[in-house]
Amino acid sequence: MRPFDYIRADSAEAATRQVADGGIFIAGGTNLLDLMKLEVMAPEALIDINRLELNQIEETEDGGLRIGALVTNSDLANDTRVRRDWPVLSRALLAGASAQLRNKATTGGNLLQRTRCLYFYDRAMACNKREPGSGCAAREGFNRILAVLGTSEHCIATHPSDMAVAMRALGAKVETLKEDGETRQLTLDELYLLPGDRPDRETVLEVGELITGVVLPARVDGRQTYRKVRDRASYAFALVSVAGIVAMEDGRIARADLAFGGLAPKPWRDAQVEALLVGETPSEALFNKAADQLLAQARGFGDNDFKLLLARRTLVSVLTELTETRT
Amino acid sequence: MTEQFKMDAPATERRLDDMAQGLVGAPLDRPEGALKVTGTATYANEWQIEGMVHGVMVRAPGNSGRVVLSNREAVAKMPGVLSVIQDDRLLRNPAQGTANKAPVQGAQHATYLGQLIAIVVAESFEQARHAAQALKVTLENGEMVPVDPATAAVEPQEDQTLDQGNLDGAMSEAKHSVDVVYTTPSHSSSPMEPHASIASWEGEDLTLRASYQMLKYNRNELADSLRIHPDRVRIISPYVGGGFGSKLGLAPEAVAAAIAAKELGRPVSVALHRQQVYEATMRRSETRQRLRLAADSDGRLSGFGHDARVSNLPGETFAEPVLQASHFLYAGANRKMSLELARLHRLCAGSVRAPGEAVGVTVVENAMDELAHEVGIDPVELRLRNIPEKDPESVKDYSSRRFREALQSGAEIFGWAKRPGVKERRDGEWLIGYGMASAARINALMESQARVTLLPDGTARVETDMTDIGTGTYAILGQIAGDMLGLPRDKVDVILGDTNLPPAAGSGGSWGASSSGTSVYIACEAIRRQLADRLDVNEHDLMLKDARATYANQTKALTDVLQGDEIAKLGHVLPGETSDAVRQATFGAYFAEVAVHAASGETRVRRMHGSFAAGRILNAKTARSQCLGGMTFGIGMALTEELTFDPRDGHVVNHNLAEYHIPVNADVPQLTVELLEERDDWASPLQAKGIGELGICGAAAAITNAIYNATGVRVRNYPATLDKVIVGL
Amino acid sequence: MQTNVIINGTQRRLELDPRTTLLDALRHHLGLSGSKKGCDHGQCGACTVMVNGRRINACLTLACMHDGDEVTTIEGIGQPGNLSALQEAFVSEDGFQCGYCTPGQICSATAMLEEIRNEWPSHVTDDLVGGAELTNEEISERMSGNLCRCSAYPNIVEAIRKAAGKGA
């Protein structure tokens, strides 16, 4: 870990200025310090934002929730409103990491966690994300946990968050504050960049731009689930995950909001998959057609080829669960 | 003063059965428990020593070539940095268990990626860590070296070759046969405490506070590595945060700490980072195993073939002894076995819990399951029909062997009779299956010494350099001494883990308890004789209980017998003729119920039971815990554990606990264990055999056999991760 | 960098390199080596302590970020001769072998029982809105952030049930 200046921010505005020159915000720190110990990340300053008043969950006028960026994963998962009306989010959070990590990790930090690609983590290996232009050792290395969608020849990393997958299915928006005082809202689709030829750039956030919160839209009718498939029963990253919100009307699918983890450099959502489902009567054939659509552009890199089959099976299973008539 | 005992004849007297105190075998709590649950037991990197500084080791970024430290001077000038050391005495890789001498040394050349080639020492850990990361290491004149066991050059292990009868003939004539190839990946011991050493010198005398399993060997390994006399070296290791083989032999951090401490004249602490534990300590070799089983229409074996390929670094003689139990577990007149060692540039291969049987028995038990399905009989019945009367190769008798009882009792306890047919049972989206496997592990007695002192106040002290790596040594040595001397458990103080104490067998190979326990027993017997002399009775007529001696209708307090004296005896046990006179091994059986998700292929172990026979059980609580641990290793081996190597440079890709998946609590159901009552007179005067590793020797096969039962999918390449199951669903 | 932290009820003033983790501050600077370093990356749970009543990985937080916080380590939970109910149960149920993960397990379990009392659901809780029972499955899931290579998991579950007064 390189030496750094430690600065405790006492206002969001100050923090955005303090971070501008080679600094980085630290909240929970559970991923940042992990990477700093390995010098995969080596900021010159840490701007500690933990004292900012961004740890509230408030109801919005239109029936949604505004989640402060510093709300911990535990507090968000355990919020009674979230458990009742946005259960897919609680489920995703509870499926992630461990209780200890959830107690420290924050909403903003979770959105910005870095990939778990083992080549990104190893400074002896080529990685375009860590060191632009050095190459990608993962493509022809051991790539079992890596992406099959949204990759580029420069990077096949996945985004590891469970929470963000649920938020993407829920249509959440990220609120930010820029150094010049301007605020903006971004969908998760807008927030994240695909690797392309600049895998080191993971989001559209500008230097000094601080995530201040996430807004969930009002609850919608339907069933919600988060299915996480992983190597261990607990405390493991997703190989594939599906966040699903499905509503039925008269035996037909009226809503199918679906997001996927473990497959891509960002929480994945495919409007065409959902369009294909809505208005239709549930059937295994239909679900497989949805999977065909989801995976139309997917490609594996050897060790991770199984993710195509796993994603298909998991999607079909989740859709079956969410559309079946309960007795 | 020294009582020497050589195990040349069966110990039929079974004296521990007659002792009145009643400690041996009882499920007593660990005496050090209160220290461990309060965080006050002191592990290696927790000694607070005046003036101590911190060292962090540096890895080679490639697998071949001359090491160049290009910015060494600049790093040496970084804040807090005291020294950057690249020394020819640094270890290339750890010593193998019981090596007793230095392993290959040298930091000038890289042999595998991750090799620790330098150490940076600084005033603080934070300074040392950063400086170590800042050190630029390049490799010059590297060559293309083999890293893949499938294509690397191999060396046949001639001494492991067996050709008895005609296996090929038996295979072609057999009514039923199985000829299958399985692979198991490399495993990591992954103890929770990373390797750590604190070295401090007083003149020419070195004290190392460290985390090792076999101190008498480690002391000689350290002395040889430093080219000093062993008398100059003391190793202290009272608490070891898990070993599982990875701390059998001296590892790189110990030598680095000693060299740095000498150079700086200050105590130096070096703790390996978890990544370094994965990259530069020990791995279990991956294996490729071909099993050939020939059977008649009833499933009786006429042939048994087992051929394996394992790997190791150039210069290392250790070859995972895959065939070890194959020689004696099952019948079959026609037998063929071979082992070959591939030479490659991955980190060193050595002992990981139950070297040999952990992977060897597992694959045998998979093949037996395949044969049971071929023959169409109950897999338990197949095993029962193939328990040989005598060792099928040496024709020696077995010592105690409650193998049949373990199979039958385990089946009964588990409810094996209610097993479903293949792909027959379903619970919602989960496919349910049962599987079973046998357990077998060789048994050994090793030289070991302990001093027992009966003190004038009627308490006793047991001293030996034996270690307790979680195995229960503190508990069982106190129980043995307490029984022999007639003292309540809390009147016996057990002091371990210091090479200033009599040298013990060490914790490894499952021999620790019976070997060090016997040395204590021998010393106590001598003390008993001396007490009997004082009372002028025959030692066998002396009953000791609750610190009182009863003899010839009299009773007397031990303190009165001692009259202010202390009696100290050194017990010294040596293996003898019983080691080779009979086939000694431990046996058991595992039963597992799994649920496999029909969509994802994820497997969860729902229930698992083990019945084991390992001679006398010295402490039913700690022995059971050892079995729980072994079975859990089996769960990991079956489902998740695999060191993955980059196909291009052979480095360990998943070098952390997030991606090397040892089981978590949620992976492990409430396992059940049955310990069968047994006495093995050939094993030791305690009639005890080793139990530390038996729990893993075949366990994984019970689970993968259950996956087959649930799904009809045979995963022949361990571990049975969902990607391998899902393709068959 | 100066930081004031209340550790096991006592105010401690620390003057540390800002890079010092809370774990290293405890182990190297405060003589509290009960909290263990197993991986240093939040992947094993051996360093679990409670900060303001909540369990966290002390290895993944900087000491300087905890000015004014209350930290409870294993040393604050009980001492030899004065064991907490959980510590006693870990001894009697053999909820450990080598003992290295044990302080983390016990800190974690102490906080976990409080989480159940506060009706926090877990990944395996069927009904997110109702509370959770202290079943084996719930304990195992909630304790999965604490690895134990000796694999005392079944005994850890028993110890926690026993301490919680809900033994089978």
The pLDDT tens digits of the residues spanning B83-97 come to: 999 999 999 999 999
Rg of chain C over Cα atoms, rounded to whole angstroms, equals 16
Q: Give a three-class secondary structure readout of B280-333.
A: HCCEECCEEEEEEEEECCCCCEEEEEEEEEEEECCCCCCCCCCCCCCCCCCCCC
- Contact between A141 and B133 using a beta-carbon 8 Å cutoff: no
Give residue C168's pLDDT band: very low, low, confident or very high (50, 70, 90).
Answer: very low
Residue B646 one-letter amino acid? D
C60 vs C45: CA distance, rounded Å: 10
- Contact between C100 and B194 using a beta-carbon 8 Å cutoff: no
Rg of chain B over Cα atoms, rounded to whole angstroms, equals 26
My answer on whether C63 and C105 are in the same domain is no
| Span B243-265, average pLDDT | 98
* Residue B218 parent element (H or E): helix B215-226
What 3-state class would DSSP assign to B131? helix
* Cα angle B334, B696, B155; round to 5: 50
My answer on whether C96 and C148 are in the same domain is yes
Query: Hey, which bits of B393-486 come out as E strands?
Result: 425-427, 430-442, 448-454, 460-463
Q: Which residues of C touch B632 (CB under 8 A)?
A: 151, 153
Q: Give a three-class secondary structure readout of B222-283.
A: HHHHHCCCHHHEEEECCCCCCCCCCCCCCCHHHHHHHHHHHHHCCCEEEECCHHHHHHHCCE
Residue showing tokens 């990939």: A115
Q: Are C164 and C134 in contact (CB under 8 A)?
A: yes
B273 vs A121: CA distance, rounded Å: 14
Which residue in C48, C83, C98, C137 has the most chain B C-beta atoms within 10 A of its own C-beta, making it the best mutation to test that interface? C98
Per-domain residue ranges of chain B? 2-41+446-575, 45-144+193-282, 356-444+581-726
For residue A147, the 8-state DSSP code is -
Q: Scanning every residue of chain A, which has its alpha carbon at the shortest distance from the alpha carbon of B654?
A: A118
The pLDDT tens digits of the residues spanning B502-532 come to: 999 999 999 999 999 999 999 999 999 999 9
- Domain with A23 in it: what CATH number? 3.30.43
The pLDDT tens digits of the residues spanning B405-445 come to: 999 999 999 999 999 999 999 999 999 999 999 999 999 99
Strand partners, A228: A241
Residues 18-57 of C with CB under 8 A from A: 18-19, 21, 40-42, 45, 48, 54-57
My answer on whether C140 and C161 are in the same domain is yes
Q: What is the pLDDT of residue C165?
A: 86
- Report the share of chain B in percent with pLDDT over 70: 100
Q: Is the pLDDT of residue C166 over 60?
A: no
The answer to whether domain B2-41+446-575 and domain B356-444+581-726 are alike in fold is yes
Residue A61 one-letter amino acid? E
- Domain with A243 in it: what CATH number? 3.30.390.50
Q: Scanning every residue of chain C, which has its alpha carbon at the shortest distance from the alpha carbon of B33?
A: C91
The pLDDT tens digits of the residues spanning B617-668 come to: 999 999 999 999 999 999 999 999 999 999 999 999 999 999 999 999 999 9
Q: Which of B463, B466, B461, B460 is nearest to B447 (CA)?
A: B466
| Span B198-220, average pLDDT | 98
A199 vs A203: CA distance, rounded Å: 10
- From edge to edge, which strands make up the β-sheet containing A5-8? A5-8, A45-48, A23-26
Q: Is the pLDDT of residue B713 over 50?
A: yes
Q: What is the pLDDT of residue A103?
A: 98
Q: Is the pLDDT of residue C1 over 90?
A: no
- Domain with C39 in it: what CATH number? 3.10.20.30
Phi, psi of B313 (to 5 degrees): -65, 155
Provide the CB-side half-sphere exposure for A47 (13 A, CA). Answer: 22
The pLDDT tens digits of the residues spanning C27-79 come to: 999 999 999 999 999 999 999 999 999 999 999 999 999 999 999 999 999 99
- What range does the domain containing A39 cover? 5-50
Q: Which CATH number fits domain B356-444+581-726: 3.20.20.70, 3.30.365.10, 3.40.30.10, 1.20.1740.10?
A: 3.30.365.10
A194 exposure class (CB count in 10 Å sphere: 0-12, 13-18, 19+): middle
My answer on whether C22 and C52 are in the same domain is yes
Say what the pTM is. 0.98
B677 vs B510: CA distance, rounded Å: 18
Helices (H), C42-119: 74-77, 85-92, 102-117
- Distances in whole angstroms, Cα of residue B373 to Cα of each of B386, B420, B421: 15, 13, 11
* Residue that finishes a domain, picked among C42, C76, C110: C76
Close Cβ partners of C130 (under 8 Å, ≥ 6 residues apart) = C119
Provide the CB-side half-sphere exposure for B209 (13 A, CA). Answer: 19
Instruction: Nearest by CB to B723, from A137, A306, A314: name it.
Output: A306
Q: What is the pLDDT of residue A325?
A: 86
- What range does the domain containing C109 cover? 85-165
Considering chain B, what is the average pLDDT of its residues? 98
Give residue C167's pLDDT band: very low, low, confident or very high (50, 70, 90).
Answer: very low
- Contact between C152 and B629 using a beta-carbon 8 Å cutoff: yes
What 3-state class would DSSP assign to B98? coil
- Domain with C97 in it: what CATH number? 1.10.150.120
- Report how many domains make up chain A: 2
In a domain, A246, yes or no: yes
Q: What is the pLDDT of residue A327?
A: 61
- Contact between A116 and B648 using a beta-carbon 8 Å cutoff: no
Close Cβ partners of B235 (under 8 Å, ≥ 6 residues apart) = B207, B208, B209, B210, B212, B215, B218, B219, B222, B465, B498, B499
Residue positions counted in chain C: 168
What is the DSSP track for B646-708? -TTT--BS--STTTS-PPPGGG----EEEE-----TTT-TT-B---TTGGGTTHHHHHHHHHH
CATH class of this structure's domain B2-41+446-575: alpha beta
Q: Which residues of chain A have pLDDT under 70?
A: 327
Q: Which of B32, B405, B674, B693 is catalytic?
A: B693
| Span B179-205, average pLDDT | 98
Q: Scanning every residue of chain B, which has its alpha carbon at the shortest distance from the alpha carbon of A124?
A: B61
Residue B286 one-letter amino acid? E
- Report how many domains make up chain C: 2
- Distances in whole angstroms, Cα of residue A267 to Cα of each of A186, A199, A263, C88: 14, 15, 8, 45
Residue showing tokens 């097993």: B419
C112 touching A (Cβ < 8 Å): yes
Give residue B550's pLDDT band: very low, low, confident or very high (50, 70, 90).
Answer: very high
B49 vs B257: CA distance, rounded Å: 14
Q: Are strands B65-69 and B2-7 parallel, antiparallel or unpaired?
A: unpaired
My answer on whether C91 and C148 are in the same domain is yes
My answer on whether C62 and C106 are in the same domain is no
The pLDDT tens digits of the residues spanning B315-328 come to: 999 999 999 999 99
Q: What is the pLDDT of residue B700?
A: 98
Q: Which residues of C touch B471 (CB under 8 A)?
A: 97
B693 is catalytic: yes
Distance in Å, alpha carbon of A225 to nearest chain C alpha carbon: 12
Distance in Å, alpha carbon of C77 to nearest chain A alpha carbon: 18
Phi, psi of A112 (to 5 degrees): -100, 10
CATH class of this structure's domain B45-144+193-282: alpha beta
Close Cβ partners of B159 (under 8 Å, ≥ 6 residues apart) = none
Instruction: Nearest by CB to B29, from C35, C91, C152: name it.
Output: C91
